[in-house]
Amino acid sequence: MGVIAKRPLFLLAAALTCLSLVFFLFQSRDALFGSQIQKPVFGSSDALVAADAQLGLVADAHMLPSADSFHRHFQAVTRLNGITVKEAKQTCTWPSEEPVDFQYDKDSDWVVHDRPDEEIASRRKEWHAYIAGDAGTGTGHGMIPYDKVKDRFQGRGLVIVAGNQDTLMRVKVILRQLVYLKSKIAIEIHYWDDEMTDESMKELSDMYQPISFNDLSKEHNIIHIKKDGLYINYQLKTASLINSKFAEPLLLDSDNVPVIDPATLYDSAVYKEHHTVFWPDIARSWPQNPAWAITNTPCRMDEYEQESGQLMVDKRRFWYHLQLASWLNNEQGAYYNQFLLGDKDMFRFAWHALKTDYGRPLKWLTSVGTENEGYYCGHSFAQHHPDDGRVAFLHGGAFKTVALEIMRWNRDEKGGYFRHYKRAPTDEDPAVNVNVAIIWDGAAYYHKNKTDKFRSAMCTDMSDVSVRDTNEILPGWEKHFGEIGGYWQLDQADAKNKAGEINAATIRSVA
Task: Say which amino acid occupies 291.
Answer: A
Confidence of residue 50 (pLDDT cuts 50, 70, 90): low
Q: How far apart are CA 214 and CA 196, in angstroms?
A: 10
Give percent of the chain above pLDDT 90: 69
In this predicted structure, the answer to whether residue 10 has a pLDDT above a threshold of 50 is no
Q: Which of the two residues, 426 and 5, has the higher pLDDT score?
A: 426
Across the range 56-79, mean pLDDT stands at 95
The pLDDT value given to residue 141? 59
- Of 63, 33, 37, 38, the C-alpha closest to 51 is 33
In this predicted structure, the answer to whether residue 116 has a pLDDT above a threshold of 70 is yes
Confidence of residue 65 (pLDDT cuts 50, 70, 90): very high
Q: Which of the two residues, 177 and 231, has the higher pLDDT score?
A: 177
In this predicted structure, the answer to whether residue 108 has a pLDDT above a threshold of 50 is yes
Across the range 503-508, mean pLDDT stands at 54
- For 207, other C-beta atoms within 10 Å of its C-beta total 15
Confidence of residue 19 (pLDDT cuts 50, 70, 90): very low
The pLDDT value given to residue 4? 34
The pLDDT value given to residue 164? 85
The pLDDT value given to residue 92? 94
Q: How far, in Å, are 304, 373, 379, 416 from residue 101 at the CA level?
A: 10, 28, 19, 31
In this predicted structure, the answer to whether residue 41 has a pLDDT above a threshold of 70 is no
The pLDDT value given to residue 128? 96
In this predicted structure, the answer to whether residue 17 has a pLDDT above a threshold of 70 is no
Confidence of residue 136 (pLDDT cuts 50, 70, 90): very low
Over the stretch 276-306, which tens digit does the pLDDT of each residue have? 999 999 999 999 999 999 999 999 999 999 9
C-alpha dihedral (195, 143, 344, 191), degrees to nearest 10: -10
Over the stretch 384-393, which tens digit does the pLDDT of each residue have? 999 999 999 9
The pLDDT value given to residue 500? 61
- Please give the model's pTM, rounded to 2 decimal places: 0.86
Q: Note the helical H segments in 452-487.
A: 477-483
Average pLDDT, the chain: 86
Domains of the chain: 146-353 (3.90.550.10), 366-486 (no CATH)
Angle (CA) 343 345 350, round 5°: 100
- For 28, other C-beta atoms within 10 Å of its C-beta total 12
The pLDDT value given to residue 54? 62
The pLDDT value given to residue 20? 45
Omega into 280 within 30° of 0, i.e. cis?
no
What element of type H or E holds 236?
Answer: helix 235-243
Q: What is the largest CA-CA distance in the chain?
A: 133
The pLDDT value given to residue 373? 94
Most confident stretch, 5-14, 16-25, 212-221, 341-350 = 212-221
Q: In angstroms, how far is the first alpha carbon of the chain from the final one?
A: 133
Over the stretch 411-456, which tens digit does the pLDDT of each residue have? 999 999 999 999 999 999 999 988 998 888 888 899 887 776 676 7
Q: How far apart are CA 106 and CA 183, in angstroms?
A: 45
In this predicted structure, the answer to whether residue 200 has a pLDDT above a threshold of 70 is yes
Q: How far apart are CA 291 and CA 271, in angstroms?
A: 26
